[in-house]
Each structure stands twice: as C-alpha cells, then as structure tokens.
Amino acid sequence: MDMAVVNVSSAALCKASGLTEEEVIGGLTSIGMPVEFGELKSLLVEITPNRPDLFSVEGIARALKAYSRKEINEYKVEKSDYVLAVSNKTTDARPAISAAVVKGLKIDEETLLGLMQLQEKLHDTIGRKRKKVAIGIHDLKPIVWPLEYTVAVGDKFVPLDSKEEMDAWEVLKKHPKGIAFAHLVERKAVIIKDKKGIISFPPIINSERTRVTHNTKDVLVDVTGTSQETVDAVLDIVTTSLADLGGTVYEVKVGTRTCPDFVPKKVKLKLREANSVLGLELSQKEAQECLLRMGIRCDGENALVPPYRADVISFTDVLEDIAIGYGYENIEPTLPALNTVGRGRDDWEAARDSLLGMGFMEITTHVLTNAALLSIVGRERGALEIKNSASEEFNLLRTSLLQSMLVCFSNNKMKGMPQLFYEIGTVYEKGEEERLCFGMMGDGASLTSLQPYLQTLMKELGFGFELRACEDSAFIKGRCVEILVGGEVVGVMGSAHPEVIEKFGLTAPVALCELRITLLKK
C-alpha cells in the first residue's frame, strides 16, 4: 500500500504532543510511521492510507500522547438548532452527506495550511480523488440558516479564487478546479445553499463568500460522497481534529439524521484468539493496556473504538493494534513446528543467483497498478481493468515491470547510491507472462553501464543474443535497444528518459532492462 507523506512542523508537533523531537520520532517509528527530516525544521511522516486520522498535526499528536502516556482525548457534541435539509433529487447523483459546526477556533497561517493538507490527503486517499468523498470547510459567519442540499437549476455564485459569478455548469468549463474535476459530475450538479445562495458545489469548489481566513473563528464542515459510512467517518476525522485545535463541536440535523455521532463503536475483545495469533500469553488487563497505547479504551470484554479510527472494522484490526501496542520488537520469533522439504523456488533460480552475485537486490511489487504510472512509461495500452476496485491506485493489471522498478527507485531515493534492483514477476499483456526486469540508479547509470550485466546474465542462462537500436518513449532516443534471441525480440534496454525520471520524482540517472523470460523457455 502506498504511503501518504504528511509534512508537519516539528515544533508544532512537539507542542501539541508534549514530547521532545526525539520522543516524537521514536513514537512514530514504533507505531509504524517512518519519519524523515524535511525543509525548515519540518518532519515528513509516512502514513499508510488506512490511518487517515493521522493526516494532521492534531491526529499525530493524539496518537503519540496515547502511545507514550496512555492519555486519550475525549470528544463530545453540543446540541444546536442548525438544520440542513436534503432533497431526494440528490439520491442518484451524490447521495451521502453529513455536516457539523465547530466554534471557538484560532486559525493562523500554520493552522490554515494544516487544514488544507488534511483535506488534500483525505481527498486523495479515502476520498478516491474526491469521487467517493469531498470535504468543504466554510466560515460560519456569512451563512444564513437553514441550509439545503439539492440539485442546481441555474443558481449562480462566485466560486473560490474568482470574481465572476457562474452557475455550476459554467464552473465546470471556466474555473480551473471545475475543469480538473468535471469528470466527477455527470447528469446532475448538487449544491449546498443557504438563504443567500450557493455556499458549496461538491465535489468541485466552495463559494468565495464562505472562504476561511485568519479571522475565521467558527466553521461549517460539510462532507458529501457516494458512501454514507465513509462520509460519516471523514466528518469524524475532520471535526475531532478541529476539536483538538480548541474548537467546540455542534450538531447539525442533516435530513432525518443528526451528526456527527461520537459514540464509540464496540468490538468484542477475543483474548484467546489474540494470544493464539500473536503467540503471547497476555492477560485481559495486559491486552487492554496495549489497546490503551493505541487510543482504544475497553469496557469489560469490548474494545471501544473512537470515532476517528475509520480503519478499525473488526477484531482483526483490534488484534493488530494489540500487537503494535505490545511492540513487534518484543515478540520473540520462533520457528513453526512444521516439517517441510526444501526445493527450488522456480525455473529462474539461475537468473536470481546470477543477479544476486552481481550485486542486485530482489524486489517484489504489486501486480496491480494504475493508468497514470503505466502511461509514464508508455505501457498503458491493453491494460486490463479491475471491476469494483477498492482503490484507484490499484485498478489495472500491469503490462510491464518498468513502472514497478521506477516506483521502487522512487521509494528508495533517499538511500545510498548506486542502487541495483531486479524483479521476476507476472505481467498481463495479450495474456499472462513472466518477465525479468533489472535496473540501476546513480551517477553514470546508462545503457552502456547496464549492458555488461545483461551479457553476464545471458551467459549464465546459456543464451546468445543480439542488440538492435529501437525507439521507446520510456527511454532516451538513441540510447535504447531491443534484445533478440534467435531473431526474436525478447526484451528492451536503455537509459530512462529524463521526463520519466522527473515524473517519478528521481534526480539521478536510471538504466533499465526488461526481458520476456517466458520466451526463453521455448
């Protein structure tokens, strides 16, 4: 699963958590969130997308306080008379909506940037690029209640960063945000409006009238989407983060529902199963202590999952938190009591041995990828799409290993150079096929420097080969060759094109070779 990198101020995180920078880094590492130093005394925290509650300083600080001191924040919702009516016309367009009001905030530049980053990360991960969930945060002061969630019928408003009044369809054609996300609006455009007019056009843009500024003290948070469960979870994450900034949360009656709902979800704590899976002998109290470090209280035999923990769905997730709270480093590894017979892994052990002997490190990457990555290396044509994919990051079967290798280089770009990796894996291009890809990154990496490795590999495998100049959009023109065995093209090798290197966020030269090793069996 790809990490979401959250940029946070070290000083702000230390202040919010009450910990030193060393304790912050140690705590995040123990929880499973690697940290690097960024610019201007910031920390770059790598967070798995299944923990969207950690996409803000407030969320990270909350987790650190629980892990280090077993201190858990409490949240409550105040009563109010705020009403947001929901039209049944929105049902077949964007049916899910939740909202809340938060008052008493102090919003400075750092807070504003943090809110924007939280929105962005939630949109890109759990929100699936705004398709599943979109968030709007508005200055409450200009809003004239009650609100209505309905379908646009010629209503006009001034969208953010604009001076021109437009209707929804004009926004999709003229405004940069409208153009970027127009594909998310089909037959109907949904809007949220007050007595003065439109305040939000989800999932596209808010009104300039309700822009949040440094003078904003009270806000309205609206969350819309296609899944009510996910919409509610995102509202809980945003509002609890705002509460941690000192805000007071007020309920909003949305249609027939009242939200947000901060009542913890109960999950049965199965101690025997936990001990069996983890190989431990924890008592009920010890298991509860582990969960307390992960921000989860217990009530008898039930784990009380806080509203912002959208990742906890079943006991399996609770079990994982017990393991993290206990500390993976404290679990002693043991060999399973099984009798097995060793054998060769596959037909390509000779290739593995050859590449390992030349200093290459083996990697294993996802068979699933996406059109954006494949298009960078010119391999998107004919890619098979996964129906009902759980993530837009993994919705196609890969047609090549090149993009996987480049992603690996990107993930390791902060490590030492040169780097040499290889992978043997399955691709799906006109059928299933095994391929071998190996590459190098560092000063001097080129077609010329990679060729000796190919020669050694093919010699070890017992194949003669020829090279023939070719053109391939993934490689620099004039620095790319086809690999032929017995007159048949079995692969390609070359110096990665600068645009390809840039799009993967790399700064060092890269050389790659991909072989259709299935053909070498014939």
Q: What is the DSSP letter of 132?
A: S
Say yes or no: 231 and 323 in one domain.
no
Q: What is the DSSP letter of 385?
A: B
Mean pLDDT of the region 141-153: 97
248, β-bridge pairs: 103
Say yes or no: 361 and 495 in one domain.
yes
| Residue 361 pLDDT | 96
String of DSSP letters for 445-468: -SHHHHHHHHHHHHHHHT---EEE
In a domain, 344, yes or no: no
- Please give the mean pLDDT across all residues of the chain: 93
Q: Which residues contact 135 (CB under 8 A, 6 or more apart)?
A: 119, 122, 123, 127, 221, 222, 223, 234, 238
Mean pLDDT of the region 348-365: 93
| Residue 430 pLDDT | 83
Mean pLDDT of the region 249-256: 98
Please check the confidence at residue 372 and state whether its pLDDT lies above 60: yes
259, β-bridge pairs: 252
Confidence class of residue 70 from pLDDT cuts 50, 70 and 90? confident
Mean pLDDT of the region 437-455: 96
The range of the structural domain enclosing residue 363 comes to: 349-521
Tally of domains within the chain? 4
The continuous run of DSSP H or E covering 75 comes out as none
Q: What is the CATH number of the domain that holds 134?
A: 3.50.40.10
Say yes or no: 236 and 302 in one domain.
no
Confidence class of residue 299 from pLDDT cuts 50, 70 and 90? very high
Q: What is the CATH number of the domain that holds 53?
A: 3.30.56.10
Q: For a pLDDT cut of 90, what percent of the chain falls above it?
A: 84
**Alpha-helical runs (H) found in 49-193:** 57-69, 109-124, 168-174, 176-181
Burial class of residue 494, CB neighbours in 10 A (0-12, 13-18, 19+)? buried
| Residue 276 pLDDT | 93
Mean pLDDT of the region 134-156: 96
Residue 495 φ then ψ, to 5°: -90, 125
Say yes or no: 150 and 286 in one domain.
no
Please check the confidence at residue 50 and state whether its pLDDT lies above 50: yes
Mean pLDDT of the region 264-279: 94
| Residue 1 pLDDT | 47
In a domain, 12, yes or no: yes
Helices 284-292, 271-278: axis angle to 10 degrees equals 80
Say yes or no: 284 and 253 in one domain.
no
| Residue 40 pLDDT | 78
Give the pTM.
0.72
Say yes or no: 291 and 365 in one domain.
no
